[in-house]
Amino acid sequence: MEAEMSKKMPGVGSFIVSVILLMASNGCAAGKEKEIGVYEIKRGDFSLNFTNWGATVISVILPDKNGKLNDVVLGYDSVEEYENDTTYFGSVVGRVANRIGGARFTLNGKNYTLVANEGHNTLHGGKKGFSDVIWSVKSHEKDSHITFTYDSFDGEQGFPRQSRVSVTYMFVGTNKLAVRMKAKSLNKPTPINLAFHGYWNLGGHASGNILSHTIQIFGSKITPVDQELIPTGQITPVQGTPYDFLKPQTIGSRINDLPNGYDINYALDGQDLHRAAIVWERRSGRKMELWTNEPGMQFYTGNKLVDVKGKGGFVYRSHAGFCLETQGFPDAVNHPNFPSQIVNPGEIYDHIMIYRFTAV
Ligand SMILES: *[C@@H]1O[C@H](CO)[C@@H](O)[C@H](O)[C@H]1NC(C)=O
Ligand SMILES: *[C@@H]1O[C@H](CO)[C@@H](O)[C@H](O)[C@H]1NC(C)=O
Ligand SMILES: *[C@@H]1O[C@H](CO)[C@@H](O)[C@H](O)[C@H]1NC(C)=O
């Protein structure tokens, strides 16, 4: 099992090249849309539905080892329900994902006060972050991809300067999905840190909890947090702690050693486009590998889900899904020792995620 999981992902070089080429040729604009709609992409048995509310993934349909199809992400039946959502099911969060302590930071000698939406801290971009706005559908081809764009204005939720953001979800081959989040600052420096906030349950969204899933996380350090989940600024080894998933273990193996389950950022070990995690679910045989070019990944086990009425009337409880949110380190704007999230004019923020799904 361990040997199997640590095997190198085949063919990664060639498909990255095709991702970059295909994404660069996104000239086939489908025109601006400000209505909230549902959009599908489909390749064989692998299909996804989206809404432009929050550039959200509504469903991910995948076969299991016997070819049976299941929806493996948590969500709602109607698009309207996403507007009242407080779980961030399937959405893209920003302008700065994760928490900013005290809802403030200083950039080039100027203090910025943000909208606080979790106590006196800012979570996922504020009260009305990118997950709570209507994106435009810039390009959509049912058999290949969808691209959403959003223009964030100067002062939005307290953040300085305009930024233009795009998110593309696209198939690569028959069993890979690439997510590419790009942004640029239009005039002055601004922090940007986007994350895809899907909640996965590889046994099917309505199959119960994810504690028996096996996970391997390629991060030998974490950024510990205080009582309010704000990083202390330390970067500490996982060795000898319940956070050590360097070797595959079930998510539930040591979860009871933690007061609230997992909700922590890993400092990933790899450079450039590197493997972040592998998750495997025994009954369905489904396996998900995740690659990214980001330095961090928040591992969250849906600790705060309390009786959320979801798709098909199914009620999601604590640990009904897990999130692997690749991103920069949380609260980096207040920790000079963390990799910077400041995007200067002329620079491009470019966050790549690649999922590879198999079932055996
Ligand atoms: C996805 O959207 C299409 C088109 O609206 C719809 O026919 C299909 O049932 C949806 N699939 C899921 C799993 O919701
Ligand atoms: C969303 O919340 C508002 C205000 O509480 C409520 O009126 C509305 O029915 C809710 N919509 C859905 C789809 O649950
Ligand atoms: C910014 O905030 C810091 C810490 O609260 C304070 O010491 C400093 O004087 C403030 N600077 C400006 C320019 O307001």
Indicate if the pLDDT at residue 258 is higher than 80. Answer: yes
**Binding site annotation covers 199?**
yes
Cα–Cα nearest to 166, from 180, 187, 185, 145? 180
Q: Are 149 and 166 in contact (CB under 8 A)?
A: yes
Is the peptide bond prior to 95 cis by the omega test (within 30 degrees of 0)? Answer: yes
User: pLDDT at position 305, please?
Assistant: 97
Res 309 pLDDT > 70 = yes
Q: What is the pLDDT of residue 160?
A: 87
Distance separating alpha carbons of residues 195 and 22, to the nearest angstrom: 22
Atom of ligand 2 nearest to the CA of 81: 13
Whole-angstrom Cα distance, residue 220 to residue 302? 22
CB proximity list for 291: less than 8 A, separation 6 or greater: 9, 12, 273, 274, 275, 276, 352, 353, 354, 355, 356
Among candidates 178, 177, 179, 197, which has minimal Cα distance to 97? 197
pLDDT exceeds cutoff 90 at 331: yes
Per cent of the chain over pLDDT 70 is 91
Set 197, 205, 213, 335: catalytic member: 197
Cα distance between residue 58 and residue 311, in whole Å:
10
3-state SS assignment for residue 256: helix
Residue 34 pLDDT: 73
pLDDT in tens, 19-51: 444 444 333 344 444 789 999 999 999 999 999
Distance CA 70, CA 340 (A): 39
Element counts in the chain: helices (H) and strands (E): 3, 28
> What is the share, in percent, of the chain residues with pLDDT greater than 90?
86
Q: Is 325 considered catalytic here?
A: yes
Given 124, 140, 325, 351, the catalytic residue: 325
Confidence of residue 232 (pLDDT cuts 50, 70, 90): very high
Query: Per the structure block, which two tokens stand in for 59?
Result: 């469903």
* Ligand 3 atom 5 nearest Cα: 111
**Ligand 2 centroid vs 80 CA: distance in angstroms?**
8
Is pLDDT above 50 for 3?
no
CB 278 within 8 A of CB 287: yes
Cβ atoms 340, 333 nearer than 8 A:
no
Q: What average pLDDT does range 104-115 have in this prediction?
A: 96
Closest ligand 2 atom to the C-alpha of 80? Answer: 13
Q: Which helix (H) or strand (E) holds 2?
A: helix 2-5
DSSP 119-140: TTBEETTSTT-GGGSBPEEEEE
Q: How confident is the model at residue 17 (pLDDT cuts 50, 70, 90)?
A: very low
Mean predicted confidence (pLDDT) in 235-242? 98
| Residues framing ligand 1 (Cβ under 6 A) | 38, 40, 49, 59, 61, 71
Tell me the per-residue pLDDT of 192-213, one tens digit each, with 9 for 90 and over. 999 999 999 999 999 999 999 9
99 appears as a binding residue in the annotation: yes
Q: Would residue 197 show up in a list of annotated catalytic residues for this protein?
A: yes
